[in-house]
Chains A and B, each alone.
Chain A
Amino acid sequence: MPRKYVIGIDLGTTNSALAWAAPPPDPRELSPVTLLGVPQLVNPGEVRDEDLLPSFLYIAGANDFPAGSLELPWPSADSSMVVGELARKRGTENARRLVSSAKSWLSHAGVDRTAPILPVSAPEGVTKVSPVDASRRYLEHLAAGWNAKMPEAPFAEQQVLVTVPASFDAVARELTLEAARKAGYQDPVLLEEPQAAFYAWIEKHPDWRERVQVGDLILVVDIGGGTTDFTLISVTEGAGELQLERVAVGEHILLGGDNIDLALARHLEQQLAGQGKKLDALQLNALWQQCRLAKERLLAEDANRGEHPVTILGKGTGLVGGTIKTKLLLEDVNRVLLDGFLPLVTSEEMPQRRRMGLAELGLPYAADAAITRHLARFLRQQAAASEHGSVRRGPSGLACPTHVLFNGGVLRSPVVRDRMIEALNNWLRAEGMAPIQPLLGEDLMHAVARGAAYYGMARAGRGVRIRGGIPRTYYVGIESAMPAVPGLPAPLKALAVAPFGMEEGTDLKIPAREFGLIVGEPAEFRFFNSATRKDDEPGALLDGIEEELEELSPVEVNLTGAAGEMVPVTLETVVTETGLLQLWCVARDGRRWKLEFNVREQVSR
């Protein structure tokens, strides 16, 4: 049998990547991780290998591209679905056929994520796809790219790891796995992105054990194109060896590098409007790209310029005459970026919350652009949650990390990193703690895919594993046995069924409690989770649905059995090897029912 490769896949919001390793026969050894150049259409009729596959899907119409110009090196069942760089490019010209940020939709509980809803603003007659389907196509493309480059090692026979944001809840994880399976992946394993970034750092630093010590707390800050993700990893000791334990994950924050570039573009657009120059949508898009470039140059390590020219070339063939020119000033970048997105706040300042009665159907973007306030909230939340694992804290209860690892394109800029460190150090100083030490990763755009491949080897006994388990506590809603009150639903209690940190490949029984399960007719189940309540033991019953509990999509199922029968059951929780959460109801006679997270229902309360 041919040797199995380990393949790590970063299914990103704006970019995806694939890294692989060929584990050596000796399980104690590790081998280097390599990035795969993913073949993709970059222009009509032109396929090129690129390290990143832009996570964009363009649903091409009959006249979008010249005939035969969408051929890939592999046969494609549906060539009207363009994935990658060409999709991104063409999407700027015809946005209504472009699917973007499918991953954020995948984690959006307010919509039916298996229904064809994307692109949201597609005109009548365009075949829409579901968030799951779009993700499936990115995964399929990566697999096909692998097969084209490595024909002797079919993708379906390799060990595959797919990363998800740590903030993904059980439903979003399940949907990611569903997309992977539909893409033909065999037994894919999920891994959290910040953990993958940390594995990538370990891969680059085989001497990592000398760089951290027991009691250290490592903060992973991952700012991608569209999302921000925080994780805390604690360094502990077990069996005389250093161990790593993921002790906290943040909420899903839809805020990232694209917001920063757009803010800069809007700033310049207003300036130009003041001079009587109006930009159309395409020009604004060009301005957006130019701002990204100008920002990167102004903030680069060796930059010493105070401004960078920004030019929008004329629209028609009159190029010079129609050129609009302006410049991006370093002080503007600093003002927008540092004061707008990374203000120096105290650790007590919490992000503003959106409280709107009506909102447009769309992604729940973060209402507060200040990443530092979101970070303060994250570290503060760990104060509210009492002890789980060994979290290093200051006198006020604030979690006090000793190290910080940065990941994501935005953090390639030293100015941004320094600002984050400055904010963190202000908080640490107020708590009487020593300054934080940055851990430098090298390849911030590809670290997640690399780290996933490394983890694939670590799973097989080749290196350290971060212990983590599920990053939230899960609850099921239980109707309380109380006399009915007209006009009021029976009060709901929340029963903890899966504790924070429950490890993959384990199961547990909810002790000494029987519940009435309605079978034979449709019944609704409500699920909740919390990233902050970490001490609720399985079986703990909360008297009400508290603020800290977030509701998942409700589940309506019709379990087999005699109509209207109420079966006394006990509950069992299973976390599968791949990180999926399952809840089983077991009757005294041995009958078992599995409650699946269903995503067809919308959360409408």
Chain B
Amino acid sequence: MVRTYLLLAWTWLRASAQYPGPLIMMVIGSFIVSGLDVAAIWVIFEHVGSLGGFDLAEVMFLYGAAGLSFALSDILFGNVERLSQHIKAGTFDTMLIRPAGAFVQMATDRFSVQRLGRLAQAAVVLAIALPQLGLPAGRAWMIPVMILCGTVIFASIFTLGGAMQFLLTDAPEVANAFTYGGSALTQYPLSVYGNELVKGVTFIVPLAFVNWQPALFVLDRPDPLGLPYWLRFAAPLAAVVLSVAAALAWRAGIRRYRSTGS
């Protein structure tokens, strides 16, 4: 599966490299578009010294970590969100007659470096924020773990959003509420949101484990909601559970797929 992924991704990459002009434009474009979110944070901190109890460097850290996870999962699996387009155009049928998983083919379809802009932008923010926090190694080890788990969680949400399109072929935008909505949610400390919402994204759609819970450990902060301490280490568990759910949903979707058109 990994081999097939790399093979397809590499082939698409080579094809897109034949037109470097638009490609570079699009990388820069995605860098700027995602930079707008940082501009918003900057405007907010022009007016306040802390948001939800977190200062600018801490918010940038939360933003950068979640942004990195989201960008990685978007590059690797984000194309799955185009499922409904493929179903409508009939190209999903042709994926099913090839001896490779439909998921891998979806994920690599038109694989391009365009989304690197977002990745670079998140990395820059994180690189600026980290030195200002002065973290000891005893807590900083969690950062790569949280970025990895966050990537798996977002990838699972992309997959769930794709699987949903087997049912809602005419309304793929619903998935955006969870994928891009999840990205927007994790850009700010969860302490700004209502308690019900935070509990929902802790125990139902586990977005809280993308950055919030592990970050409470990294920043050594008490949980404003007073949730159990061990949740800070539960990100790998959440990632595993959600990815299993996503895999099952995708398989169920394929099984009940009804090819339309002639």
A binds B: no
Chain B residues near A (Cβ < 8 Å): none
Which residues of A does B touch, CB under 8 Å?
none
